[in-house]
Structure 1
């Protein structure tokens, strides 16, 4: 069975499914159904990457060794997939500093 396309191969527009069929009970359901499958827009290679990401529990270093590519390349591919899903990869923000730790650091700097 072919995968469900998410874009029209002629115009590139959205696909609207108009019929579902269940062979178990030989029933068809007609209507207008939107295709809202976020991962359907990913290529086969990107889907394999996502599967490995899940198997690796999100650890990019494990993916690096499994794929035999550098860490920056793994990260770049992950960012490509994030963008393909319509998001923008976030920048890593430093963890907020506890007020007590902040005061201690300032005191140490003040003391020289």
Structure 2
């Protein structure tokens, strides 16, 4: 059973580097200082969220349903992943008031979450 390489140090949580690569087929070994891809450096929570996000083609309602979380939590998790990948989160997108009110009416978000979303505008 193969184990996934750690992207972050379990002691200090800083980025890890790979120093040895080995091919099991031809027995070639390469040593050096290699960085991991951006996605390898994500936490397990981030990876789980990204997998659910992709599986559901970014459909927020489906993500909410599968993870059992609210719309603001989905947005927050997405923003956390964006930041973890090294990008800045831009808050230029306007809040869709009708969508927020519809979710509030359907009981999908609390009044507190609705107020928070509407204040983001």
TM-score bracket, normalised by the shorter chain, equals 0.5 to 0.7
| TM-score normalized with structure 2 length | 0.63
In structure 2, do the counterparts of structure 1 residues 75 and 20 end up closer, same or farther at CA, with 3 Å as the change threshold? Answer: same
Specify every segment of 5 or more residues in structure 1 that has no aligned partner in the other structure, as ranges: 94-112
Match of 2:66 in 1: 66
Partners in 1 of 2:84 and 2:72 — Cα distance?
Answer: 18
Aligned length: 93
User: Is the 8 Å Cα contact of residues 56 and 63 (structure 2) preserved in structure 1?
Assistant: yes
More deviation in 61-70 or 15-24? 15-24
Output the aligned Cα RMSD: 2.4
Which residue in the other structure is 1:92 paired with?
Answer: 93
TM-score scaled by length of structure 1: 0.67
Give the unaligned 5+ runs of structure 2.
95-121
Structure 1 runs (4+) deviating above 2 angstroms are 1-19
CA distance in 1, matches of 2:51, 2:14: 28
